[in-house]
A and B are shown apart, each in its own frame.
Chain A
Amino acid sequence: MKLRYFAWVRERIGVAEEDVDPPADVVTVGELVAWLSGRGEGYAYAFENPKVVRAAIDKSHVRADAKISGAGEIAFFPPMTGG
C-alpha cells in the first residue's frame, strides 16, 4: 500500500511517500503507526505522540481503530491549520 506524509510528519520521516508491505497482523491504522515507529529514528520521532498525528484512508479522515485492509493510500499528517 501507498503511504503519504505531510508537513512535519513528512519532514521527520524524510520522504513524502513510499510503498510498504506491513505484516498480516497489522490490521488497524494504530497498529500500522506502531509498526512504522519501529522502522527507524525518523518514524519514531514522527509518531512519538501518536494521538497528535491524524490519518486518512483513500482521502477520508479515519481514526486509529480503522481497518487498513483494502486501503489504496493511507496518509499521515499533523492537525490541520488551513483557512
Chain B
Amino acid sequence: MMLPMTPTIRLQRERFDIADETAALTRGRTEIGAVVTFTGICRADENGEPIAALTLEHYPDMAAAEIARHVEEAQSRWPLLGVTVIHRHGRIAPGEDIVLVATASSHRQAAFAAAEFLMDYLKTRAPFWKQVEKASGKTWVEAKDADNSAAARWLGPGAAAAE
C-alpha cells in the first residue's frame, strides 16, 4: 500500500545541499527503492561567451502554484513515493546549483520518467527568467525551441493546441 506523500517545493535564494535533500526524501521510507535526482548547474558560458553570473527573476506566487500543479500531474501519472523540487532565484555564479528535482518511487522507471517530465515543464512553464552578465552587458536568455519540443512530447494527441 502506498503512503500519502507530501511533496517538498521550495523557491529560495540560498544554496541547497543535494545529499541533505535526498536523505530527507527517503528517511524512514523503506518502501522507496529508487531515487532520481536532477541538478541544473550554472555554466560559465552562454553561446560560447564567458559569463560572470546568472540572475533569475521569478513570479513567486505563480511559480509555486505552477510547480505544485505539475507535481500533482506527475503524481497522477506515476506511482511516486516522494518529490522534491527546489528552484533558486537571484544571482547565481558559475558552478552553483540552480534547480533540484528529486523523485522517489519503488522502482526506477517511474522515478526517471517523473524527474524528466518535471524538468521539461519547469523549463517551459514555470515563471522564471534568466539574465546573464557578460563583459558586453546584461542580456535575457532566449527560450529554446528544443525545450518546448521536450515539454510537448508529454502531451497527448490534440493537447498541443492548449499550449
| Residues of A that sit less than 8 Å from B by CB | 4, 6-8, 56, 59-61, 75, 77-83
Contact = CB atoms under 8 A, between A and B. Distances in A.
Contacts of B61: 59
A75 B122 contact: no
- 4 closest A-B pairs by CB: A82-B128, A79-B143, A7-B129, A59-B62
Contacts of A83: 40, 87, 98-99, 119, 122-123, 126, 128, 147
Given A6-B127, A7-B140, A82 B59 contact: no
Interface of B: 40, 56-59, 61-63, 65-66, 87, 98-99, 119, 122-131, 140-143, 147
B130 A81 contact: yes
Looking at A4, A61, A77, A81, which has the most chain B CB atoms within 10 Å of its CB? A81
B152 to A, nearest CB: 14
24 contacts: A6-B57, A6-B59, A7-B57, A7-B129, A8-B140, A56-B127, A59-B59, A60-B62, A77-B129, A78-B140, A78-B143, A80-B123, A80-B126, A80-B127, A80-B128, A81-B129, A81-B143, A82-B56, A82-B87, A82-B123, A82-B126, A82-B129, A83-B119, A83-B123
Contacts of B127: 6, 56, 75, 77, 80, 82
